[in-house]
Chain A
Amino acid sequence: MDYIGEHLLPGQLGHFFIVLSVVASLVATFAYFKVTRTASSVDAGYWKKLARAAFVIEVVSVAAIFSILFYIIYNHLFEYKYAWQHSSRSLEVKYLLSCFWEGQEGSTLLWSIWHCVLGLVLIKTSKTWEAPVMTVVSFAQFCLATMLAGLYVFGWKMGSNPFTLLRDSGVLDSAVGLHINADLTQPLRPDYLSFIKDGNDLNPLLQNYWMVIHPPVLFLGFASTIVPFAFAVAGLWTKRFSDWTKPALPWALFSLAVLGVGIMMGAAWAYESLTFGGYWAWDPVENASLVPWMILAAGIHTLLIYKHSGHSLRSTFLFMILTFIFILYSTFLTKSGVLGEASVHAFTDSGMNVQLVGLLVLFFFPSLILFLIRYKEIPSIKKEENVSSREFWMFIGSLVFFLAAIVISAKTSLPVFNKIFGTKIAAPEDEEFAYNQIQIFVAVIIGVLTAITQYLRYKDTSSSFFWKKIWIPTILSIVVATLILATWPRLSRRHLAGNCSICVCDNRQCSLYLAWCKGKSQAFRRIDRSPGFWSCFAGHPYFFIQERDPFQKHQRHRHRFW
């Protein structure tokens, strides 16, 4: 039957490009795999050409899918479910982009787009690492592409297609007036579209400028964690256990900075739009993005330890792998609907849980098994770290940070345990307190360690050197902290722990600032030479979370820590 007023071409084109992207990413994965495995350089050259071509086709397809979907939303083609469900005619143009990421398919697409951009940069820059690293990236692209496919494979629906027509989506099945003779057993009336006057509109909570910018930044952070992961896997795979750390470090720093900024933008949005009464509420969705950030931060520190002292290479591999695994886990948490009861802003179940678990399993087991097989071969130093060395305390800091991340993740996973074991455990009476009571101590420990460790030297530090370096910043920070506490006396009465951490953080901030001033000219030349510069930008959202309380506008909490 022909329906009046439908525009079917964009959808058909869109679906064509989705299928093309599935095929192209699979070809790219296979070809890059062959490049890595082929000994003959002539053969490898051919495979590489094929792989690059396939990846470029993949990039073109993803760009086309994005453009077509935007065309549909921009022109209010409500015959497509995505436009009908997420937008309306009265929506401002800037929010038309937010419509993209309101839905699952759009956010998957956004992730895929960033992978494309990162992939192109990797092809351009990673030289001998291109083949193994791009095998991993292309495979991830293949997985994401199948999540958009909406194809039936042996009767099982794979993925959710953003170009589904409204009339095929089941939404109209019970709308009596839209069927011929108002009879539900009859097909839709040919002019049904003339009754669909407007779309569902974007959730008002998402009609906020932060929602235009926060998702792309956060997803760039999400997507970029695949690069250090891919380098780590490539290092294990090709047995070049040490070389990968050099190109991986700037990528890891970039990832940490972008993910950190993305998380903070989300907090700013929550402050304005949600009724948390604060920036951070330990909501499962927030935690899901914080945990990989923390593990990546731990991984960067062990990477720096390795670079300077040769220790901690094994833990660097593990942290880099786990960062990406926890990114996938957070995708599972937010998209599977498992958090339905526990979170205010998780997606609802879209029937893709098998695929989401599959994605997690497909990356988790191979990478971890590879790590375990190669574990013995990874070079490590037998000699113990010196207690007066920087690497010793940096490693302890990383470890504390990593364990804190595991604690947060375990607490957030209560709904998952309930699902698996059929239990009915709910969050404690005061959920925020349950997180804060532990994390405040972690914050203090991390604060103290960062303040002190930077004045230690790698390998060994003489005590005269240490005291000579540390006394000026210590006095400075005590003065500044006293001033702050004198200005806001409320702070000092209520937040004893806050006092300590502010003291310590001041120390850290002033020395970071000094380091930044010193390294400023260098910093723009080579980002990997000046992690301090980037960590300024990364902004340590962790401290931001811990210290938000004193400056909070609305005091809604019944229980305070002190």
Chain B
Amino acid sequence: MKKIHIILLVGIAATIAVLISFLQNTSTYDTVATAKSKPGKFVHLMARWDKSAPLEYDALKNPNYLSFTAVDTLGQSVKVVYHQPKPENFEISERLVLKGKYQDGYFDCQSIQTKCPSKYKDDMEAAKKNVQVSEAVENK
């Protein structure tokens, strides 16, 4: 067996080992129910902001405290606490990817990824409004 072949095998073995250890460390995409079922474990929670529930954020008092209720597609909700400034486009987002863990009755969030409706749809709404406005003007 050539030395190169041995090194090749060692390299491939190392690659496989690296990938297996990577898989051990991965997290999962979860719903509220499954996130609650594994408290203390880091997950990606897919949900959206429940606008009917109160949102607690006072930039003057504490800019690093945001608390709101997230609801997933199955309709279950959970209280979320986020110890960083509120993301800029939080209000307009239609979906949130919340990274963190469920513990002590709330979801302790480390980072929020906001999924905004594409600008494209936004502007369509705006365009529609413009059209309606200009029509209203015309009708008068």
Contact = CB atoms under 8 A, between A and B. Distances in A.
A175 B128 contact: yes
A1 interface: no
Interface residues of A, number: 38
A400 B4 CA distance: 12
Contacts of B14: 403
Contacts of A403: 11-12, 14-15
Interface in A158-194: 171, 174-178, 182
Interface in B17-43: 18-19, 22-23, 25-30, 42-43
Given A200-B123, A399-B7, A399-B11, A438 B131 contact: no
B103 interface: no
B64 to A, nearest CB: 15
A200 B119 contact: yes
A110 B120 CA distance: 23
A203 B123 CA distance: 12
Contact of A428 (B2, B19, B26, B110): B26
Nearest to A85: B120
A85 B120 CA distance: 7
Contacts of A384: 2-4
A171 B127 CA distance: 11
B130 to A, nearest CB: 7
B104 interface: no
Contact of B26 (A392, A400, A414): A414
A438 B18 contact: yes
B48 interface: no
Interface stretch (A27-35, A45-53, A234-242, A419-427): A419-427
B8 interface: yes
A177 B131 contact: yes
Nearest to A423: B28
Contacts of B2: 384
B116 to A, nearest CB: 11
B128 A426 contact: no
Interface in B103-124: 110, 118-120, 123-124
A85 to B, nearest CB: 6
Given A175-B131, A176-B132, A200-B120, A410 B19 contact: yes
A348 B116 CA distance: 12
Contact of A399 (B8, B28, B135): B8
B131 A195 contact: yes
B76 interface: no
Contacts of B30: 424
B97 interface: yes
A385 interface: yes
A120 interface: no
Contacts of A85: 120
A356 B14 CA distance: 32
A176 B127 CA distance: 11
Contacts of A400: 11
A175 B30 CA distance: 36
Size band of the interface chain B makes with A: 35 or more
A424 B14 CA distance: 26
A514 to B, nearest CB: 30
A200 B118 CA distance: 11
B103 to A, nearest CB: 14
Interface string A407-420: 10011001000000
Contacts of B3: 384-385, 387, 392
Nearest to B110: A429
Contacts of B99: 429
B62 interface: no
Contact of A175 (B43, B127, B134): B127
A165 B23 CA distance: 46
Interface string A375-411: 0000000001101000010011001100100110011
A2 interface: no
B28 A425 contact: yes
Nearest to A384: B2
A127 to B, nearest CB: 35
A427 B127 contact: no
Given A384-B4, A399-B8, A426 B120 contact: no
Contact of A182 (B23, B123, B135): B135
B93 to A, nearest CB: 14
Contacts of B134: 177, 195
Interface string A191-220: 000011100110100000000000000000
A429 B27 contact: yes
A399 B110 CA distance: 38
Contacts of A171: 124
Contacts of B118: 348
Contact of B28 (A392, A396, A424): A424
Nearest to B88: A275
A536 interface: no
25 contacts: A171-B124, A175-B124, A175-B127, A175-B128, A176-B128, A178-B131, A195-B130, A196-B127, A200-B119, A387-B3, A392-B3, A392-B4, A396-B7, A399-B8, A406-B15, A407-B19, A411-B22, A424-B29, A424-B30, A426-B29, A427-B27, A428-B26, A429-B27, A434-B22, A438-B18
Interface of B: 2-4, 7-8, 11-12, 14-15, 18-19, 22-23, 25-30, 42-44, 97, 99, 110, 118-120, 123-124, 127-128, 130-132, 134-135
Given A177-B131, A434-B25, 6 more contacts: A175-B131, A348-B118, A407-B19, A410-B22, A411-B19, A427-B27
